Amino acid sequence: MADSIRESRGNRIRLVVAYDGAGFHGFARQDGLRTVQATLEETLTRMLSTPIEVHGSGRTDKGVHARAQVVHFDLPYGPPAERMVYVLRRRLPADVIPLWADQVDTGFHARFSVVRKTYRYLLYRGAAPNLFLYRFSWHVPGVLAVEAMREAAVHLLGRHDFTSFCASATPQEDKVRSLYRIDFVESPNRLAIEVEGSGFLQYMVRIIVGTLVKVGQGREAADRIPAILAARDRRLAGETAPPHGLCLWNVEYPPEYGGKVVDPEADL
């Protein structure tokens, strides 16, 4: 946790949690379904004996994981934020892990104060699926032309209309987003793709990954990306990569709220 976090002037709590998305129907509350938001709200409500509404930094879809999801909620009373983390670790299910919490002023909003978000998608390239990674990676056996994937990714950087790279039913009318960074992190049999941007549309990262894999397999040319962007046609981009390879990796706030909530160099 960064040292520059603003001194508290209210009862607003910021909480950073990690979760395994396999057992959830996404982050956002849905009637009759197990979601991260509902799990947090129910646990906090029981713990504090008062209704608690949780606001998240963004929604993750069914099956998508988080290394650093940020939420905030307001308390009429309760234990200090730091102590609350340890209480929640005993009360939350094993697939939701509170990392840290602090008290922030009421100007902070988990979603609307966000400056940047980073998602990481993990590909496993071994001949057979990995027993210990299959819940957290997309098995894509065989050789991928990573240099071609890097060339394709360069065309996605900057500010673009990402209509071709989001779900056809995406509710937002404005589909212009800014991507600041797409990095490829290679290790034996693994390839992680990190995408950092101002914000993301539904399935956007998964479609970007599916398109980059298509390029890496030689089924699409790297220099076709600008034309795919310009067409604003979802049918021209690659497949939507499966959700279980995707993880909300980091969330960044302005300096007065501590910047990135997880150390980018931390090995989690």
Q: Which residues are annotated as a binding site for substrate?
A: 119
Pairwise CA distance, residues 30 & 38, whole Å: 8
Binding residues: 119
Q: Which residue blocks in 182-224 are alpha helix, DSSP H?
A: 204-216
What are the helix and strand counts (H, E) for the chain? Answer: 5, 10
Active-site annotation holder among 3, 20, 31, 61: 61
Pairwise CA distance, residues 135 & 130, whole Å: 9
Whether 174 sits among the annotated catalytic residues: the reply is: no
Are 119 and 248 spatial neighbours (Cβ–Cβ below 8 Å)?
yes
Distances, alpha carbon 103 to alpha carbons 15, 82, 83, 118, 205, in Å: 9, 9, 11, 24, 31
Residue positions annotated with a catalytic role: 61
